[in-house]
Structure 1
């Protein structure tokens, strides 16, 4: 991930990349890290850790939930990329939850309309002015409550894209029925934005990634193996001892 991006830019990038995630959801060849082309080789050398095993159990459960029983009539669902599916769910949940928390802290409550008054006929100029002021007050309260800049904890619009753009507005200090974010709130939004963008970029294979395998799974020469790739580059495994290198096509240097 490009760490030079500001929080606002990170959130806007998430919104811009979301349609790409939706397109990738149905792509059976979507990569994850380590790159799928090298995974068979890597798994022969390294056992999956507890976190990966837990992730696999969740993905298998999600797949079972999406599949229909073979004895049912009708078309089966289109296969999806579980890596992208998990990423979209996790990122959307993080962004929406953060928007809920920030809105509770910084968003001003809607204006309250005046209490209902008993019907009366305005006979004097002062009475007519009072009724006109009341009507304006009611209209201002209605508009304030319906302000599209407000974040809402119920109803529609609680999506990853909407949350990312709303949070980017708060991080940028845009005007509206809000107070400015405190330093702590700015840091909270920055952490969520950076983490969410990192996951989106990894799911789309847009980010540079690098991983050193455990010492219990060395190269044949005894050296440590490093895997790197992403950002459109060909994934490569490299021994830091003998400098042998592998790609999906096999050994490229020894």
Structure 2
């Protein structure tokens, strides 16, 4: 069973891959890509229906005020959107977890009036006061603390900070409660799943809205870097790259 630790590792280890994929062109080998060519053998009527849906989709984009027609993009926007969603979810989770598990900074001692230490006891008192002031400053500046203000950390750092809470790493924190661990586990699982789907790392299956000529449903299997494979649940026909089987 995949653990929260493994899910967070997936985000950290593959974040650079997402950056690279965002600037890479789409490939036929990805899940759900290139199926128009695979399903061309469904027949003219089915192909016309497919084209009609595609044309309606393009018209909806043209009506969108954010779109200026359909043109090639230098980046894969769906990858960037996935990265933004994962980052936002991780930040929100870390903000909430830190709110409850992170200990408040040590309160500094009250200021003392400047004075000359005339006795050994006074020197010891001043030294102790200085140590407590320094301890409070060091505790507040502890780099392991989660910060809600300033520049927000990136997704890998956030995932690693959450990983530290899962593993009970030392710092100004208490252990996670069961409810906090469950919430973190759900966010980590969702983030890892999005990474795997975006990079085509996990096996997937989808049912198309387009039906086979026999009226049966068409299921598409793919992922894990493999070319998509479609088959009809009614007549059993199979569509793959360059292969059509009855």
Q: Normalization by structure 2: what TM-score? A: 0.83
Q: Over the residues paired in the alignment, what is the CA RMSD in angstroms?
A: 2.8
1:131 to 123, 126, 149: 126
How far does residue 252 in structure 1 lie from its aligned partner after superposition? 2.9
**Does the 8 Å CA contact 1:95/1:192 hold for their aligned counterparts?**
yes
Q: Say if 2:17 is the partner of 1:20.
A: yes
- Distance change (3 Å), C-alpha of 1:62 and 1:248: farther
- Could you list the runs of 5+ residues in structure 1 that have no partner in the other structure? 68-77
Counterpart mapping for 1:41-80 below 5 A: 41=39, 44=49, 79-80=74-75
Q: Say if 2:206 is the partner of 1:211.
A: yes
Tell me which structure has the larger Cα radius of gyration: 2
Structure 1 residue ranges (4+ consecutive) displaced by more than 2 angstroms after TM superposition = 30-34, 39-48, 60-64
**Does the 8 Å CA contact 1:122/1:128 hold for their aligned counterparts?**
yes
**Residue in 1 aligned with 2:169?**
174
- Distance change (3 Å), C-alpha of 1:47 and 1:83: farther
What is the count of residue pairs matched by the alignment? 229
2:117 to 115, 122, 141: 122
- Distance change (3 Å), C-alpha of 1:253 and 1:32: closer
**Residue in 1 aligned with 2:44?**
none
- Distance change (3 Å), C-alpha of 1:62 and 1:104: farther
Q: Normalization by structure 1: what TM-score? A: 0.81
**Residue in 2 aligned with 1:252?**
244
State how far apart, in whole Å, the 2-side matches of 1:22 and 1:212 are.
Answer: 29
**Does the 8 Å CA contact 2:31/2:223 hold for their aligned counterparts?**
no
- Could you list the runs of 5+ residues in structure 2 that have no partner in the other structure? 41-46
**Residue in 2 aligned with 1:140?**
135
